[in-house]
Amino acid sequence: MGFGDYPLEYNPKVHGPYDPARFYGKADTPLAQVKLSELGAWLARRNKSPQAMVAAVSRAYWRWQHKYVLPKRAGIAPFLQATVGTMIIFYTLNYNRITQHRNYKYH
C-alpha cells in the first residue's frame, strides 16, 4: 500500500463508494465503552505504526469535514473551530515564551 492507495481492507464490491471518514478494518470496542480495567489491553491492541496514526488523523479530519464543513447549510462553526484550534496550537508552541510574562512570583 503506497501513497494515495485505498486501505487494504477496503473492498468496493462490499463497501460501495469510498468514504475517507470511515475505518474499514475490523471494529474494536469504542473508547467511550472501554472499562478502566480493559484500557491497557485496549491500548495494546492499537496499531501504533506512523501510517496508522496518519490514517486516524485523516479520518478524524474527514469526519469533521462531513459534520461541519460540507453540509449544505454549514455555518460559521468550522471557521471558529479552526480559529480556536489554531489559537491553542500556537499558544502551546509559544508557551515557553509566554510563561516569561507571568505577573506573580508566588502562587
Listed in sequence order, the residues at least 6 apart from 68 whose beta carbon sits closer than 8 Å to its beta carbon are: 74, 77, 78, 81
Among 43, 53, 54, 74, binds another protein (CB under 8 A): 74
Q: Does 33 bind another protein (CB under 8 A)?
A: no
CB 41 within 8 A of CB 35: no
Site for another protein in 80-99 (CB under 8 A): 80-81, 84, 87, 98-99
Taking CB under 8 A as the rule, does residue 35 contact another protein? no
Q: Measuring CA to CA, which residue among 11, 39, 42 is closest to residue 24?
A: 11
Does residue 101 bind another protein (CB under 8 A)?
yes
* 73 sits near another protein (criterion: CB under 8 A): yes
